[in-house]
C-alpha cells in the first residue's frame, strides 16, 4: 500500500521484536528502508 500511495515505509521487520528491547530508541528512515538503534546521549541528526 505504501508504494501505491508514495508513502515511505520499512518492511521485513519480523525480527524487530526479538532484537529491540522495550523502551529502546530507534530511528526509522522510510526513504532508505532502514531502522537504526539510537545510542543514548547521541545527538540527533
Domain ranges in the chain are: 2-37
19, containing H or E segment: helix 16-19
- pLDDT 10s digits, 1-45: 788 998 877 777 778 778 888 888 988 887 887 888 887 655 555
Give the pTM: 0.54
Per-residue model confidence (pLDDT) at position 44: 58
- Rounded to whole angstroms, the Cα distance separating 11 from 35 reads 10
Buried b (16+ CB within 10 A) or exposed e, 1-39: eeeeeeeeeeeeeeeeeeeeeeeeeeeeeeeeeebeeee
Q: Which residues contact 13 (CB under 8 A, 6 or more apart)?
A: 35
Amino acid at each position: 500500500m505504501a508504494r501505491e500511495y508514495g508513502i515511505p515505509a520499512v518492511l521485513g521487520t519480523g525480527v524487530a521484536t526479538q532484537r529491540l528491547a522495550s523502551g529502546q530508541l530507534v530511528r526509522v528512515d522510510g526513504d532508505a528502508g532502514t531502522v537504526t538503534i539510537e545510542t543514548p546521549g547521541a545527538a540527533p541528526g
